[in-house]
Amino acid sequence: MFIPSQNSSPSFKDFTLVLPAVAVGNVGQLAVDLMVSTLNMSRVGYMHTDCLVPMAGNNPYSRCKEDAEELHTSAEVYSAAAQKLAVLQIRAPIIETKTKKFIQLLLSWIKTSGFSRTVVLSSSHAYQRDDQQLRSAPLRYLATPSLLKAAADAFTELGWREMERVPAFPGLPEANAEPRLSIPGGGITKRLFTESCAEDLPLAVLLLFCSEGDNIPDAFTLVNHLNDWLHLLDDPSLKQNTWTTPSSWSLLFGSGVPPALF
Block mean pLDDT (10 aa), the chain, length 262: 83 95 95 95 92 90 79 93 94 94 95 96 93 87 95 94 81 67 94 96 96 94 96 83 87 70 69
pLDDT at 186: 95
pLDDT at 66: 74
pLDDT at 32: 97
> Is the Cα torsion angle 27, 186, 83, 147 positive or negative in sign?
positive
pLDDT at 170: 65
Say if strands 16-20 and 85-90 run parallel, antiparallel, or are unpaired: parallel
Closest residue by Cα to residue 36 from 19, 50, 49: 19
Q: What is the DSSP string of 78-98?
A: EEEGGGTEEEEEE-SPBPGGG
pLDDT at 177: 63
CA dihedral of residues 103, 107, 113, 114 (deg, nearest 10): 150
Kindly state the helix (H) or strand (E) to which residue 149 belongs, with its residue range.
Answer: helix 145-158
Q: Distance of CA 175 to CAs 20, 129, 204, Å?
A: 34, 20, 30
Kindly report the length of the chain: 262
Report yes or no: 10 and 45 within 8 Å, Cβ to Cβ.
Answer: yes
Q: Which domains does the chain have, with CATH numbers?
A: 16-169+176-251 (3.40.50.10900)
Q: Distance of CA 59 to CAs 25, 55, 66, 136, 167, Å?
A: 22, 13, 10, 39, 44
Cα separation, 18 vs 203, in Å, equals: 10
Closest residue by Cα to residue 26 from 247, 251, 226, 252: 252
pLDDT at 144: 97
Closest residue by Cα to residue 49 from 110, 1, 97: 1
Q: How many Å separate Cα 252 from the centre of its chain? A: 18
One-letter amino acid of 12: F
